Structure 1
Amino acid sequence: MKLLIFCLIMPFFFQNSQSGYTITGDEIEFTYAGNATQSVYVSGNFNNWVQKNALWKMRFGARQNRWYLKLPVKEVYVKGKGFYEFAFRVDAN
């Protein structure tokens, strides 16, 4: 399993990247464009670094050729935190 770590510091930080996140209105969308053959999960300080949980499992979009997960922003909001840390947990064989 590979572990890729990113920080949610500024919503526009990854806009031109293939992997990262975007915030639009009250939704956050995580995207991952790396190699994965089985599954990709989002794990972070906002979900106690869960490793595998259906709520945080990304879906593969064949048309875009990338993994994605859309959630309400409130799912990653942690009161008192200035920024959020997260990782893509990638199962790649």
Structure 2
Amino acid sequence: MKALLASCLLLASTSLPALAQKEIPKGEGHDQCPLGYVNTLGTTCVSPIHYEVAPTNGKACLSGWVNIGAGYCKKKKGPLGVL
């Protein structure tokens, strides 16, 4: 089962553009991970999907970005800004 999961993650990572972060540090002052990321039970969060994210640094997200929690914003996708 682990080998199958690793193969799927490898395939997904090679077929998608590497424009975003698959592994991010937990946001400052946050113990949980943002939407779409899995807690590694350490100091990082991982995702099998490439998201373009940026830390909020305690401020509102910029135009064209959406707050995904845990101290991060994610760039909106698509013409209607759908996640």
Report if TM-score (shorter chain) is over 0.5.
Answer: no
Q: Which has the higher contact order (CA 8 A, sep 6+)?
A: 1
TM-score, normalised with respect to structure 2: 0.30
The structure with the largest strand share of the pair is: 1
The structure with the largest alpha-carbon Rg is: 2
The structure with the largest helix share of the pair is: 2
